[in-house]
Amino acid sequence: MIKADVVIGLQYGDEGKGKITHDLCREGSYTHVLRFNGGCNAGHTIFHNGTKFVTHHIPSGVFFGIKSIIGSGCVIDPIRLQEEIETIEAGGVDVKSYLLIAKNAHIIRSSHKEEDSQDTAIGTTKRGNGPAYRDKYNRTGLTAEQASEMSNYSWMKPYLVDVYEELHTRDNTYVLCEGAQGFGIDIDWGDYPYVTSSHCTTAGALLNAIPPQAINRVWGVAKAYETYVGAKDFQGDDPLLEDLQRIGQEFGATTGRKRQTNWINLDFLAKSCKINGV
């Protein structure tokens, strides 16, 4: 039997999914935590035993000794992932014993990062996400399994798993699906083209060998005001919003960019809850 809970962002990312996922891992009885979309464009800020960590690819399960899968819906920058593993381990957390990588996740190559570094239209995180997903769907991408045959990336081999086998061939699997980004920048439901290139919705979790009837709870995470980072004009007119940005320390966890701030939009939140089954 497989059971799953899902954590998703209801706004534009940076709602605090990292904090909520960390709390759920501490309290829940999960056998696995699975990051189901995105790559190192994400930045989940977590305070663990008083120490601040920012995760980019690595699911929050590692902080509690729970098997943590970078799922098939993700794209991975192996160089940054290696750095991330070392940084978290240096903080006293055993990552290597619990990290698993979906064989069919895709790889962000240096050419993807170079291309993305030229972006000005969308205001991307310049981490190579869009080009990596484009190549995946163009069927010219590189999977983690293929990459692990290359000498630079052979270190990934011991971490590779078939997500189907990992989740479906044992008894009582309980998976916490950790989403990245948010509904407002989802590829299908966001304000296109000011979106990311992955599926940030509950539907995105299902793409990682999670059957729909396995879903137990969907936790939607929202802030009391909205923030967005990117090229479109989002900042509200009210000067109080500048204070909110400053007091809330609204700077991107990945790029350090100032987050544009606006009041909460309850109509948007209601739509987001309905579509995601929160």
Asked if residue 196 binds ligand IMP (CB under 6 A), the reply is: yes
Residue 4 CB neighbours (<10 A):
28
Q: Which of 93, 101, 96, 32 is nearest to 67 (CA)?
A: 32
Binding mask 41-60 for ligand IMP (x = CB under 6 A): xxx-----------------
Stretch that binds ligand IMP, among 70-78, 96-104, 180-188, 239-247 (CB under 6 A): 180-188
Spatial distance between the Cα atoms of 245 and 178, rounded to a whole number of angstroms? 26
Phi and psi of 78, rounded to 5°? -60, -30
**Catalytic, out of 5, 22, 32, 44:** 44
Instruction: Indicate if 44 belongs to the active site.
Output: yes
Closest distance to Mg ion from the beta carbon of 170 (Å): 32
Question: Which residue ranges make up the site for Mg ion (CB under 5 A)?
Answer: 14, 43, 253
Token pair for residue 186? 């989802």
Phi and psi of 104, rounded to 5°? -100, 15
Instruction: Indicate if 14 belongs to the active site.
Output: yes
Spatial distance between the Cα atoms of 75 and 39, rounded to a whole number of angstroms? 5
Closest distance to ligand IMP from the beta carbon of 40 (Å): 9
**Catalytic, out of 5, 14, 135, 186:** 14
Strands 260-263 and 225-228: antiparallel
The residues binding ligand IMP (CB under 6 A) are 13-14, 41-43, 122-125, 127, 129-130, 180-181, 185, 194, 196-197, 229-230
- The catalytic residues are 14, 44
